[in-house]
Structure formats: structure tokens, C-alpha cells
Amino acid sequence: MIKATPAARKLYLYLAALFITSLVVSNLIFQKFFYWYPFDWEVLGFSLFELSVGILPYPITFLITDIISEIFGKKSANQVVIAGIFASFFSIGILLIAGEVPAMETSPVDDATFHKVFAMSPLAVLASMIAYLSAQFVDIRIYHFWKNLTKGKHLWLRNNFSTFASQIIDSTTVILLLCSFGLLPWELFWGLVISSVIFKILVAAFDTPFLYLFVWVIRREFKLKVGEEIQL
């Protein structure tokens, strides 16, 4: 483990900023749904993939925590997760206050439109935070389990194994809570869970080359050996 330089601290700050932005945005845009039909497949009567747009930035959070875990260690990754929780709950407070402030007659967005878009966001953030907290800590724990077991080798193994397990927990928990809160109908439960899990697993497999690239560039820049970490 080596001491952090100003450049390393700046890198950590930028990664944390990307992580928090992706997390907060995914919670705010979840009410819009889209479909992607690369294959004409159905599972339990549901077409793959019918998904919330909130899923698009969310896998980035797991890629970033894996990069931070690899370069800066478990403690630094956990700190980013906690910061993301704080930022999400802070966004709930802002939305609640903004919803109570009456719109002017000349406002381009009236109260009805604002509430239609954001009224469910606080509950969505709460559901997401419960799922996210469970999934992220599982992701970090499994990642470091495989990192220690393989002595820092086989980056693809810990990246995919940790992400696969955490994404199953995340998707199942958040959709279960959204249905329980009445934000989504129960008949969509299995279709959304299966679509979300498969989509996230595909994204996790796709991002493995990018993880290798980012880790290689960072190790080269800071002259890190395989398995060596930067201490902040």
C-alpha cells in the first residue's frame, strides 16, 4: 500500500462524483420506461427487455466501486457508498421542499406537472437506498473476498462474480419495495426483475474490458503493482 498523492486524491474525488451523480439521477428518472428488443424473447409471458430508464446509469455505480475497490481498497469504496446514501437522502429533502413551494402562473412547469414527475421520487429513493445499501456492501465484500483469494489476480473473476450477485439482490429488492409501496403494479414484478437482472448481468460482462483498461491506466500512472492499493 502506497501513500496517496494529490493526483490520486483528485482521481478518487472524480470517481466519487461520477458515482454519486449516477446514483441520484437513476432515482430521479426511474418513472420513465422503455423497451429494447434485440431478441424476440419472452420469460413468464413478459418480453425482454422492458425496463426503467433509471437502470441506464445504475450499472456505472458498480463499475466505479470496483475501480475504487481495486485501486483504493475496501475502506475507500465503503466511504463512497455511504456518501451516495447521504446524497440520495439529501435529494429527497430538496424534492419535498420544492414540491411544497407553489408555482407562479407564468412558470413553464406548473405544480401538477412537477408532482406528476417527482411526487413518487422520495419513495423511489427510499426503496432504492434499501436495495442499494444491501447490494453495494455485498458487491464490495465479495469483490475483496475474491481479490484476497486470487492474490490480486483474475480481475475479471471478482468483477463479474461480485456484480452478478449484487445486481440480483438490488433488482429483486428495489422492485419488491416499489410494488409494495404501490408505485408499480404487482403483475409487472417478475417481468421487471428478470429483465433487470439479465440486462445488468450483460452490462457487467460488457464493462469488464473497460475495468481492465481503467485499472491498467491507473496502475501505470501511479506505478502500482498487481494487488497494490493507494492509501488515502
Residue with cell 482521481: 11
The pTM score is 0.81
Q: What distances in angstroms separate CA 136 from CA 18, 78, 140, 210, 228, one per listed residue?
A: 15, 8, 6, 20, 22
Q: 99-109: string of b/e by CB count within 10 Å (b at 16+)? A: eeeeeeeeeee
Query: Could you tell me which residue, 143 or 9, shows the higher pLDDT?
Result: 9
CA 10 to chain centre: 21
Question: Quick check: 177 and 130 in contact, CB under 8 A?
Answer: yes
Interval 10-46: pLDDT, tens:
999 999 999 999 888 887 887 787 777 766 676 666 6
- Domains annotated for the chain, with CATH where assigned, are 2-231 (1.10.1760)
Q: What is the DSSP letter of 93?
A: H
Interval 35-92: pLDDT, tens:
777 666 766 666 677 777 877 887 788 789 889 988 998 889 889 988 988 888 888 8
Question: Quick check: 198 and 142 in contact, CB under 8 A?
Answer: no
Interval 172-219: pLDDT, tens:
888 888 788 787 788 878 888 888 788 778 887 888 888 889 999 999
